[in-house]
Amino acid sequence: MIPFEYGLGLSAVLFAIGVVGVLIRRNIIILLMCVELMLNAVNLAFVTMADNLDSVEGLLYVFFVMTVAAAEAAVGLAIVLAIFRKRETVHVDDMDLMKG
């Protein structure tokens, strides 16, 4: 059995990489991928603790996180398509309709 610290450490590293990716990249598709990366890191933490505590709840949470991630990816990519059709860009700095 793998010590749970290793799993949680790997999860923390992947989450931090995802955060940095969201901060430095400007392509919205890559941003979506970085969000998926962070969700994967969280899933890894859930599975690690489920393994460590012999508890099935962690695995069930992962199941629901994956459901939400799939729905999020579908809707997010549809929004990307709609924006690309209207404005010919996937560059987040060009998406300033709301003057953010």
Partner 1 sequence: MTTVLFFICAALAIVAALGVVTLRNPMHSALSMIATMVSLAVIYLLQKAEFIAAIQVSVYAGAVMMLIVYVIFLLDLKKESSLSTAMFTQNRVIAAGLGVLVLVVLMLPLAGTITGRKGDMTEAMLTRTGSVQYLADKLFTAYLLPFELASVLLLVGLVGAVALAKKKL
Nearest-approach distance from CB 99 to partner 1, in angstroms: 20
Per CB under 8 A, contacts with partner 1 among 58-97 are 59-60, 62-64, 66-75, 77-82, 84-86, 90-91, 93
Measured distance CA(66)–CA(13) in Å, rounded: 20
Per CB under 8 A, contacts with partner 1 among 9-68 are 9-21, 23-27, 29-30, 32-34, 36-37, 40, 43-44, 47-57, 59-60, 62-64, 66-68
Closest by Cα among 46, 45, 40 to 68: 40
Measured distance CA(93)–CA(96) in Å, rounded: 7
Closest by Cα among 42, 40, 20 to 31: 20
Nearest-approach distance from CB 89 to partner 1, in angstroms: 10
Given 2, 35, 87, 100, the residue binding partner 1 (CB under 8 A):
2
Nearest-approach distance from CB 69 to partner 1, in angstroms: 7
Distances (CA, A) of 52 to 1, 15, 45, 62, 65: 9, 20, 10, 15, 20
By CB under 8 A, how many residues form the interface with partner 1?
73
